[in-house]
A = this chain, B = another copy of it.
Amino acid sequence: MSELVSTALDPGLAGAAAAAEGTIEALRSLLLLIVGAKAGEEIARRLGQPGVVGEVAGGFAVGPHALGLASLDPVVFVFAELGVVILLFSVGLEVRTDDLLAVRRAALLVALLAMALPLALGAALVSWTGEAPGPAVFAGLALAATSIGITSRVLAEMGVLDRPFSRVILGAAIVDDVAALLLIGIVSGAARGALSLESALAVVVSALGLLGLGLAVARRARGLPREVFTWPLFADTPLVPAFLLMLAGALVAAQVGLAAIIGAFVAGLILAETEAREELAEEMRPLGLVFAPFFFAVTGAQVDLGALVNPALALLAIGLAVVGVVTKLAGGYLGARGLGRWGALAVGAGMVPRGEVGIVVANLGITLGLLTGDLFSAVVIAVVLTTVAAPLLLARVVPRAMREA
């Protein structure tokens, strides 16, 4: 019987005992990451720079490639992901679906140009260094995707989420995510020698179906009374039901291959149409203040500047980063010219960060055998450089776009 009981009870409890130690370790890493992020933000802002650059730098400083105070165990990545999910959900709460649909043409054009240009020119640059077409295309692909987290934070901090250029950026980020899904499916299929355009299209159709459904629900949710969320006895306020909807949206999106943050954003769009909107925005504020910094700090903590000591690698990385920045700026400028010169540049600047999306694509390239040591490192460093460059660009371009409007 003892065996029966111990097989029935031990796994969980042995886990609990081990977890008690590990839990304190994890909380220590989380505290150090947020302390680093906030110290970095304080310094950046006192220097007149965007706070988020300081958060990334602070995360780098306490992370394993610098002071080594905080370790990047899996728990830390969950907090980072939850942080960016909360951030995009909160951004969704501030956006009206109709405003987003109103800029759909510009968003579509921007997304396509701002993916095609870095894909083509990135691949061309890598080809020119002597790489085969497969790796070259994959490196271009890592530069084509956009990570909207950092841009969202900068736009929210500046209080410009309701401006047309912000809506174009958000709309383009959605299109971008779907297009990346299609491109990654095609390129991985081709690399495996088993390209099935049908299956790649099936993935995209289901992703588009989900997005369409989300937007349709958002339009139907207009004016839903607060009581729709507060009828359960556990819900004195709309917060807990909304939090569940946010997590569910993130997970469903991840299930069909989209980024989890796109699902959280759409959940936010839906709730933004209801009468619970303002109360929810107020209740989500503390969650965003505490969690979003983990995302930026963990982004910084993954950076290893040591790789830059190799001159050839450093040159390639910087070349890719320059191509990455210039092509996104050009894509935004050409695709959103209706917003005026600086407005269109603001759109391009908003599309510059590649962040975790670029890193995931690069890792996929390793798995497929298309990116090897040096090229992989150069791509990752370029991704990081674009991510840090974006808020600095936005800080210069957005005020001009505001004056122009």
Question: Which residues of A line the B interface, CB within 8 A?
Answer: 1-6, 8-9, 11-20, 22-24, 26-28, 30-31, 34-35, 38, 41-42, 45-46, 51, 64-65, 72, 74-75, 77-78, 81-82, 85, 232-234, 237, 239-240, 243-244, 247-248, 250-251, 254, 260, 283-287, 289-290, 301-302, 304, 306-307, 310, 313, 356, 359-360, 362-363, 367, 372-374, 376-377, 380
**How near does chain B come to A211, taking the closest CB pair, in angstroms?**
18
Chain B nearest CB, measured from A155 CB (Å) = 17
- Can you add 15 more A-B contacts, CB < 8 Å, to A5-B313, A23-B77? A6-B377, A8-B304, A9-B304, A12-B72, A13-B359, A15-B77, A16-B77, A27-B78, A30-B247, A31-B244, A34-B247, A45-B233, A51-B233, A240-B290, A286-B287
Q: Given the interface contacts A64-B12, A373-B5, does A240 sit within 8 Å of B363 by beta carbon?
A: no
The copy count of this chain in the complex is 2
Q: Are B290 and A46 in contact (CB under 8 A)?
A: no
- A4 / chain B contacts, CB cutoff of 8 Å: 307, 310
Contact A46 B233 (CB under 8 A): yes
B360 & A5 in contact (Cβ 8 Å cutoff): no
Q: Pick the contact of A313 from B1, B243, B310 — CB < 8 Å?
A: B1
Expressed in whole angstroms, the minimum distance between the Cβ of A118 and any Cβ of chain B is 21
Q: Cα distance A291–B363 when bound, in Å?
A: 32
- Residues in B whose Cβ lies below 8 Å from that of A302: 12-13, 16
- Whether A290 pairs with B290 at a CB distance below 8 angstroms is no
A307 with B9: in contact, given A27-B260, A78-B75, A290-B239 (CB under 8 Å)?
yes
| Complex-state Cα separation, A373 to B30, whole angstroms | 36
A42 pairs with B251, CB closer than 8 A: no
Residues of B within 8 A of A301 (CB): 12
Q: Which residue of B lies closest to A232 (CB)?
A: B42
Nearest CB in chain B to that of A377: its residue? B5
Closest to A236 in B: B289
Partner of A51, one of B51, B234, B373: B234
Give A14's nearest chain B residue, CB to CB: B363
Given contacts A2-B374, A45-B234, are A78 and B12 in contact (CB under 8 A)?
A: no
List B contacts of A45 (CB < 8 A): 233-234
What are 28 residue pairs bridging A and B, where the CB atoms are less than 8 Å apart in the complex? A1-B310, A2-B373, A8-B304, A9-B376, A9-B377, A12-B65, A13-B362, A14-B363, A15-B72, A15-B74, A16-B72, A16-B77, A16-B363, A17-B360, A17-B363, A20-B360, A22-B78, A24-B251, A30-B247, A31-B247, A34-B244, A46-B233, A74-B74, A75-B75, A239-B289, A239-B290, A240-B290, A287-B290
Compute how far the CA of A261 lies from the CA of B3 in the bound complex, rounded to whole angstroms: 34
- A289-B279 Cα distance, complex, nearest whole Å: 15
Asked if A290 contacts B243 (CB within 8 A), the reply is: yes
Please give, as numbers and ranges, the residues of chain B lying within 8 Å of A82 by CB-CB distance. 27
Complex-state Cα separation, A260 to B23, whole angstroms: 10
A313 partner residues in chain B, CB cutoff 8 A? 1, 5
Output the nearest chain B residue to A82 by Cβ-Cβ distance.
Answer: B27
CB-based contact B5/A310 at 8 Å: yes
The complex places the Cα of A172 from the Cα of B1 at a distance, in Å, of 38
Provide the bound-state CA to CA distance between A13 and B376, in Å.
11
Chain B residues, Cβ within 8 Å of A5: 307, 310, 313, 373-374, 377
